Structure 1
Amino acid sequence: MQALAMLDAILEEEWQYRYYSFNANWGENAQMGSMRNGSGDDFFTLFDDAGCFLKGFDHESTMSPYRETPLRTWPGVLDDVPVQFESALKEPAFSMQNTTFCIWRRAGDFTWSHGDIDYPEGEDDPDGSLWMLSALDGGPETYQSFAEDYHELEVEAGAVARVFAHEPLSAELLAAFPTSRSLRDVVLDAREIGYPVGP
Structure 2
Amino acid sequence: MKTLGDLKRLKKHLKLFAILDIIFCDEDWLRFYHFDSNWGKNLSLATIDNGAGDHVYILLSEKGVIIKGFDHESFLSPHARDEYAVYPGIYENTPHALLILLENDAMEKEEVTFCMWREADDTTWKKGDVVIPEGEDDGAEFLLGTIYHDLEDYVEWAKNYYDMPISMEIIQEIFSGIPISEEIIQSLNPERNVDAARKEIKKVL
The normalised TM-score by structure 2 is 0.88
- Residue aligned with 2:16, SS: helix
How many residues matched? 192
Work out whether residues 154 and 178 of structure 1, in 8 Å CA contact, stay in contact via their aligned partners in 2: no
Aligned residue among 141, 159, 168 for 2:179: 168
Unaligned runs of 5+ in 1: 195-199
Of 183, 198, 202 in structure 2, the residue corresponding to residue 191 of structure 1 is 202
Question: Considering only aligned residues, what root-mean-square deviation do their CA atoms show, in Å?
Answer: 1.5
Pair 1:37–1:182, CA change in 2 (3 A): same
> C-alpha separation between the residues in 1 aligned to 2:146 and 2:50?
13
Read off the aligned partner of 2:192 and give its amino acid letter. Answer: R
Match of 1:12? 25
Whole-Å Cα distance in 1 between the matches of residues 146 and 167 of structure 2?
16
Identity over the aligned pairs, expressed in percent? 31
Contact 2:66 2:99 (8 Å CA) reproduced: no
Does the 8 Å contact 1:11/1:179 carry over to 2? Answer: no
Determine the C-alpha separation between the residues in 1 that align with 2:172 and 2:37.
21
Does the 8 Å CA contact 1:138/1:164 hold for their aligned counterparts? Answer: no
- Tell me the residue number matched to 1:132: 143
Give the distance between the partners of 2:46 and 2:32, measured in 1 at CA: 11
1:144 is paired with a residue whose SS is helix
Question: Structure 1's 175 and 135: CA in aligned 2 closer, same or farther, altered over 3 A?
Answer: same
Quick one: distance in 2 between partners of 1:118 and 1:155?
42
How far apart are the structure 1 equivalents of 2:42 and 2:62? 7
Instruction: Mark the runs of 5 or more structure 2 residues left unpaired by the alignment.
Output: 1-13
- Shift in alpha-carbon separation, 1:79–1:47, aligned structure 2, 3 A: same
Is the Cα–Cα contact under 8 Å of residues 135 and 142 in structure 1 kept in the other structure? no
- TM-superposed CA distance for 1:179, in Å, is 4.1
Question: Could you tell me whether the CA contact under 8 Å between 1:10 and 1:179 is conserved in 2?
Answer: no
Partner of 1:78 in structure 2?
91
Matched, 1:49 2:62: yes
**Equivalent residue of 1:137, what SS?**
coil
Task: Report the more deviating stretch, 156-165 or 87-96.
Answer: 156-165
The structure where helix makes up a greater share of residues is 2
TM-score, with length taken from structure 1: 0.90
Q: CA deviation at 1:137?
A: 3.3
* Contact 2:186–2:194 under 8 Å retained in 1: no
The aligned runs of 1:41-120 (5 Å cut-off) are 41-120=54-133
Q: In the alignment, what sits opposite 1:142?
A: 153
Q: Match of 2:155, SS?
A: helix
What amino acid sits opposite 2:17 in the alignment? Answer: L
